[in-house]
Structure 1
Amino acid sequence: MGNGANFRQRVLVCQNRTCRKQGARKVLAAFQAQLVPGVEIESSSCLGQCGMGPMVLVLPEEVWYCGVRADEVLAIAQRHLREGKPVTAMLYKKFHH
């Protein structure tokens, strides 16, 4: 994908073994289908939170989502990526209290 210079946000979707077993491929595909202007969607190696996946990390804000299902991606894309309001109920509590 590019170097990120033309993007205001990057969404990393872990594609490591544990997250893949939990459905991360479908989550990545669902994000890629959204095509939000100014947002780059990337597959990621392990984000270091094994067992809590699929993990999604939104940069540069460092907003973490855990246990994301493909059918929840639309809510994240609409509310967070388009409207700038993280989906509180889905945030990873380890990093967002």
Structure 2
Amino acid sequence: MIHLCSKKVLVCQNRTCRKQGSAQVLAAFQAESIPDVGIEATGCLGQCGNGPMVIILPEEVWYDRIQPEEVSTIVEHHLYGGEPVKALLYQKFAPHHSD
């Protein structure tokens, strides 16, 4: 039986993001072991210089410049709570709300 994850976390592991610490960010997500969430290393996401880049699927929510110590906030609020962490969103792709 194939188990499909309801969400995926993609963490860029290309050169520029790795120089900015994406391997540690990937490891921090993997250490959380979140039920029904797949954690995947990915190639370049085309946003070099803004990393480490993280995308949450299926919503396609982008986070930029993520540090390992911010991973638990994303896990708690977004993956468990269903609410993206506005302060960490990649503004280039963030939906703009009129508050």
Correspondence for 1:20: 18
For 1:66, the equivalent position in structure 2 comes to: 64
Q: TM-score, normalised by structure 2?
A: 0.92
User: 1:42 is matched with which residue?
Assistant: 40
Aligned length: 94
Aligned residue in 1 for 2:82? 84
Query: What is the CA–CA distance in structure 2 between the aligned matches of 1:80 and 1:56, rounded to whole Å?
Result: 12
Q: CA RMSD in A?
A: 1.1
Per-residue deviation at 1:83?
A: 0.8
Is the partner of 1:93 in helix, strand or coil? coil
Unaligned runs of 5+ in 2: none
Q: What is the TM-score normalised by the length of structure 1?
A: 0.94
Structure 1 regions of 5+ residues with no counterpart? none
Question: 1:79, 1:18 → 2: CA distance?
Answer: 27
Offset, 1:6: 1.5
Percent identity of the aligned residues? Answer: 59
| Structure 1 residue 90: Cα displacement | 0.2
For 2:78 and 2:58, locate their aligned partners in 1 and report how far apart those are by CA, in whole Å.
Answer: 13
Bigger-Rg structure (1/2) = 2
Letter in 1 for 2:49: G
Amino acid in the other structure paired with 1:60: P
